[in-house]
Amino acid sequence: MDEMTMLREAKPDVAPPADAALRAGRDRLTAAARPARRWPRLPKPAVMGLLAGTAAVATAAAITVAQVVAPDGHGSATAAAAEVLRDAAATARSGPPVRPGPYSYTREVIVHPGRTGEKQCTETWLRRDGSMAAFATYSERYWGRCDSKNRPRRTPALGSGHDDQRPHADVRTLPTDPSALRARLYSDAAHGRGQNPDNTGSRDQLVFDRIGRLLSMTLPPELRAALFQTLATIPGVDAVRGERDALGRQGIALARSFDDRTTPGSLAIILAPNTYRYLGRKAVQDIGEGYQTDLTALLTTAVVTKPFQRP
């Protein structure tokens, strides 16, 4: 006996299905058995072309980000520092036009917190590329108060370097595009341009030091803004609020630890809040018997035509 006969004998009083019910059942079975819709396949070369185009776009985007954020692939400034430097760059762009001269004269006061001794007064003549052409350091005992009204009587000592009449670089020719400026500064660091003879460290540290010197000078607003943007791409730069310079003026420090592990320490560029004007520096270094801190404060900066000239 087959299965259909057994079903009929089990329910002899059930009427056979109507034609309409049979047609509806067949339609449902046909629909369920129909294969799912498939998207048309691209030819193999087309697929490869699409993937190659996507990869090219992704690669171009990665290169663009790398050039702005971390050209050397070693990271960049912290988020806190990047925020400060973004505001500093925007503020610098709105500054008045400035015409730089052959040299920038700066006068600073130096103090050593926690150590006995008098304040020191320093005069520096910087070339257009940020390197030092001449300098003089005095004790207050010989100079008096370190302020802009006192004029030192001593003759400054000549700093070592290249011919001051033909500097290697001119701040008026430095690019104002942040990526181009960064490339220029790192190239100069690799070839010894724009540096002082005693400057040491990695290229990151040399560029950081040089930007600090440049910011103390008289610069066009576009270049000052680009320097702030370049600082944001230097690995290890962090922002510390509430730092004070040698005169006790409170500001925002852009600090970076030394790369040389044999001499632990850090250097910070201190900026005025809101205006982001250069105030001074803070250097901390392990001298073997503890850490030594040196603070500076910028008193005067001006354009001059030759070393040893004072405004």
> Whole domain around residue 40: which residue ranges?
18-69
Same domain, 163 and 218: yes
Residue 285 lies in a domain: yes
Q: Pick from 69, 86, 111: which residue ends a domain?
A: 69
Over residues 179-199, mean pLDDT: 85
The model's pTM is 0.70
Q: Which amino acid makes up residue 239?
A: A
Q: Quick one: 83 and 179 in the same domain?
A: yes
Number of domains in the chain: 2
Q: Which residue has the higher pLDDT, 165 or 39?
A: 165
Average pLDDT over residues 202-231: 94
- Measure the CA–CA gap between 132 and 197, rounded to whole angstroms: 9
Type and span of the H or E element at 184: helix 178-191
- Same structural domain, 56 and 96: no
Calculate mean pLDDT across residues 283-305. 87
> Domain check: are 184 and 272 in the same one?
yes
If asked whether residues 122 and 142 sit together in one domain, one would say yes
154 and 283, same structural domain? yes
Q: Are residues 80 and 59 in the same domain?
A: no
Q: Is the pLDDT of residue 192 over 90?
A: no
Q: Is residue 193 part of a domain?
A: yes
Higher-confidence residue: 305 or 221? 221
Look at residue 247 and tell me if it is in a domain. yes
81 CB-contact burial (10 Å; exposed 0-12 / middle 13-18 / buried 19+): buried
Element of type H or E holding 279: strand 278-286
Residue-level pLDDT at 258: 86
Of all residues in the chain, what percent carry a pLDDT higher than 90?
A: 38
Residue 3 domain flag: no
- Asked whether the predicted pLDDT for residue 99 surpasses 70, the reply is yes
Q: Which of the two residues, 214 and 193, has the higher pLDDT score?
A: 214
pLDDT at 134: 82
In this predicted structure, the answer to whether residue 143 has a pLDDT above a threshold of 70 is no
Name the average pLDDT for the chain.
Answer: 75
- Under 8 Å between Cβ of 205 and 180: no
Whether 161 has a pLDDT exceeding 70, the answer reads no
pLDDT beyond 90 at 13: no
The answer to whether residue 6 sits within a structural domain is no
* pLDDT for position 222: 95
pLDDT band at residue 23 under the 50/70/90 scheme: low
What confidence score (pLDDT) does residue 159 get? 47
Claim to verify: residue 104 and residue 159 sit in the same structural domain: yes
pLDDT band of residue 285 (cuts 50, 70, 90) is confident
My answer on whether 92 and 164 are in the same domain is yes
Place 47 in a pLDDT band, splitting at 50, 70 and 90: very low
pLDDT band, very low/low/confident/very high, at 147 (cuts 50, 70, 90): low
Question: Looking at the structure, do residues 272 and 184 belong to the same domain, yes or no?
Answer: yes
Of 69, 98, 128, which residue sits at a domain end?
69
- Examine the domain organization and report whether 59 and 86 are in the same domain: no
Cα distances from 70 to residues 63, 64, 266, in angstroms, run 10, 10, 21
Lowest mean pLDDT among 44-48, 105-109, 166-170: 44-48
Of 69, 90, 107, the last residue of a domain is 69
The pLDDT value recorded for residue 209 is: 93
Whether 10 maps to a domain, the answer reads: no
Q: Is the pLDDT of residue 199 over 80?
A: no
Split at pLDDT 50, 70, 90, the class of 135 is: confident
Residue 213 lies inside a defined structural domain of this protein: yes
225 and 287: one domain? yes
In this predicted structure, the answer to whether residue 73 has a pLDDT above a threshold of 80 is: no
Is residue 257 within 8 A of residue 207, CB to CB? The reply is no
Least confident of 18-27, 101-110, 121-130, 174-183: 18-27
